Structures are given as C-alpha cells and as structure tokens.
Amino acid sequence: MSPAASRPTIALSIGDPAGIGPEIVMRLLAEGDLPARVLLLGERRVLERARALHPAAPALETFERPEAFAASGAPAGLDARADRLGRDAMPDGPPAYGRIDVAAGRASHAFVLRGADLAAIGAVDALVTGPIHKEAWGLAGVSSPGHTEALAERAGVPRVLMCLTGGGLRVALATIHVALARVPALITTEGLLRDLRLLDAQMRRRYGLASPRIGVCGLNPHAGEGGRFGTEDAAVVRPAILAARAEGIDATGPWPADACLPRTVAGAFDVALAMFHDQGLPAVKTLAPRTAVNVTLGLPYVRTSVDHGTAFDVAGRGVATATSLRAAIAEAVALARASGAN
C-alpha cells in the first residue's frame, strides 16, 4: 500500500457467530469515522441479526470480488465467498447467543482462513480478526489452538510472534497457548535467538525503528536470583541474548519481569519479550483496558486483533463496546502504511 493512501482496505473476520464479534462489528459501523474501508468476512444472516442490535449500522452490499469492493467506494461491504462459507458451515442458521457451538466454530475458522488468503495475495491491505472461541474450534476439528497458530500455518511461515500493544507497552511472547507446566521445556537458547532475530526485524519493518531496544524478561522470579529460583535464566536465556547482541541486536537481560515491563513503559525499551502468555499480557491489558491490540509479527502481511474473547455472558444484548476493535483497525492501518513505506 502506498503510504499516501488515505483509505486502505481492511478485511475483518467477524469472530464466533455466537459471541459478541458480530455485534461489535455492527456497532463499529454504526459509530462510523473509520480510517479504513472494511470488507467483512462473515455470514449475512449472522450480521443481520447483529444489525438489529445496532440499527444505525449501514445495510451491507455483497461483493463477489475484493476488487469490486475496492472500486465501489463503499465504506463497508460483505465478502461473498465468506458469506457462502458461513452458510455451508451453519446450514441451520445462526447459533444461539452465548453457547459453544460446533457450527459456529467451523464458520469462524473459515472466515479467518478466507481473510488470510485475501491478505496473502494483496487483495486487502491488512487483516483484522474478531474474537473466536478456541473450544468451539476444537470441537469443529480445527487442530490450531488459536488465530496465531492457524495464520502461521496458512502462510507457511516457520515462526511468528504474538505481540500485545497498548498503554505505552509492547510485549511479545516466546510461548503462547500452552500449559504453564510445559513452558520451561519450550524455552531454548536456539528458539529465543530465533525470536530475537524476528522481533528485531519486525520492529524495524512494521514500526520503523532503526535500532529496536529489546528488554528480555527472565523465566523465573527475579530472573532466577543467581540460581536460587531456577537455572534456566543463566543457562538458557542469557546465552540467547549474548548471541543476539553478537549479531548487532540490541537485546538486554534477562531482567526480572516485574522490572522489565515497567522499564519498557518508562521508555528504556521499545519492546519486551516475555517468556509466557500470562507473564506479559496482564500488564498490557491493565494499562490499556478495552483498547489493547494483538499483533502477529512474522506473517507476510499485517494482522491485528481485538484483545478480548467472545464474552458469551453478554452476547446478544447489544452492550459490548467496540473500542478494542476500533484500536485494532487503527493499528492495522498504521502498520500497513509503515510497511508500505519500507
């Protein structure tokens, strides 16, 4: 995308049809004032049901090809292929709100893959994803535990990084959707060095940083405290940092996580690398409630997502806010422009 483009096209998958994804999409369209044109990846019956909760949202025209949507000038539209995929997955119509549903899991997975394919061929400038339900994916036979893994597999890339941003903090994760008991065995010197290379390259490409400063969190409390609380930080994490520094990557640590993350917010680092999911994410979500954004680094295209789940407890009531979705679209636009300038 040309950096001068004022209205990029974003593909937006609506998430699980039984959750709040469809209704926050329609709320977003009702509120308007978006920095991008939005091609929706969903099923019309699901979206029409959600539109009843936000009747100020515009009626949606269906487009057979992304190019036709681009030429139309419409601020939003429905992708015909995704609509058909949704109907095939949910022949009985939209599922009940707030319930885990196999057909909904199958449909939401199909919407995501459609978006991945459109982004991969450059038919859209970025992909933004609504919240899916991981258990519904599993019941539908989807092997990927979440968006990040599914998109990496679809793109055929060996490694991606999940990175949350918000409240002045960026945190990438060395491990994501795995049990905590498995984390130490998954943290290796070779894997961390690979992640530091990827993080350095993506901070340069996606965020335009000439020399990214990476703060690396320790795995153990106090980064091991000289071996008193575990040996992994000295034996595994530190060698990866030293190897990265030998390659010219500005990575330091391992720092105690409770020091590394505040220092990142204070400006000492451009991004932190956390060792596991719940080491890094609570800080971002605390600093940026309802406005944090999930960014997948390492894909051949820009992908962002909301920072929340399907919220089955309030789905269908029309009370869910679209603030994180709006932030995800804004971040996608900014990253697409930065990538187009590089």
Mean pLDDT score, 153-164: 95
Q: Mean pLDDT score of the chain, rounded to an integer?
A: 94
Indicate the burial class of 188 (C-beta count within 10 angstroms; 0-12, 13-18, 19 or more): middle
User: What tens digit of pLDDT does each residue of 186-225 get?
Assistant: 999 999 999 999 999 999 999 999 999 999 999 999 998 8
For 108, phi then psi, to 5°, come to -65, -35
Tokens of 296: 């997948």
Confidence of residue 290 (pLDDT cuts 50, 70, 90): confident
Domain boundaries, the chain: 1-157+300-342, 158-298
| Per-residue pLDDT at 55 exceeds 80 | yes
| Per-residue pLDDT at 39 exceeds 50 | yes
pLDDT in the model for residue 4 = 34
Contact 287, 171 (CB under 8 A): no
DSSP track, 38-94: EEEES-HHHHHHHHTTSTTSPPPPEESSHHHHHHH--SEEEEHHHHHHHHHH-TT-S
Top pLDDT among 296 and 339 is at 296
Mean pLDDT score, 251-275: 97
Does this chain's domain 1-157+300-342 share its CATH topology with 158-298?
A: yes
Tell me what percent of the residues of the chain surpass a pLDDT of 70.
Answer: 97
User: What tens digit of pLDDT does each residue of 101-136 get?
Assistant: 999 999 999 999 999 999 999 999 999 999 999 999
Mean pLDDT score, 299-327: 96
pTM exceeding 0.75: yes
The amino acid that residue 130 corresponds to is G
| Per-residue pLDDT at 6 exceeds 80 | no
pLDDT in the model for residue 224 = 84
| Per-residue pLDDT at 337 exceeds 80 | yes
Tokens of 337: 């422009």
pLDDT in the model for residue 250 = 98
pLDDT in the model for residue 339 = 76
In this structure, whether the domain defined by 158-298 belongs to CATH 3.40.718.10 is answered with: yes
Q: Return the CATH number of 1-157+300-342, one of 1.20.272.10, 3.40.718.10, 3.40.50.720, 3.30.70.60.
A: 3.40.718.10
Mean pLDDT score, 301-323: 96
Distance CA 50, CA 196 (A): 42
| Per-residue pLDDT at 342 exceeds 60 | no
Q: Specify the pairing of strand 271-274 against strand 169-173.
A: parallel
pLDDT in the model for residue 340 = 67
pLDDT in the model for residue 234 = 96
pLDDT in the model for residue 2 = 38
pLDDT in the model for residue 1 = 43
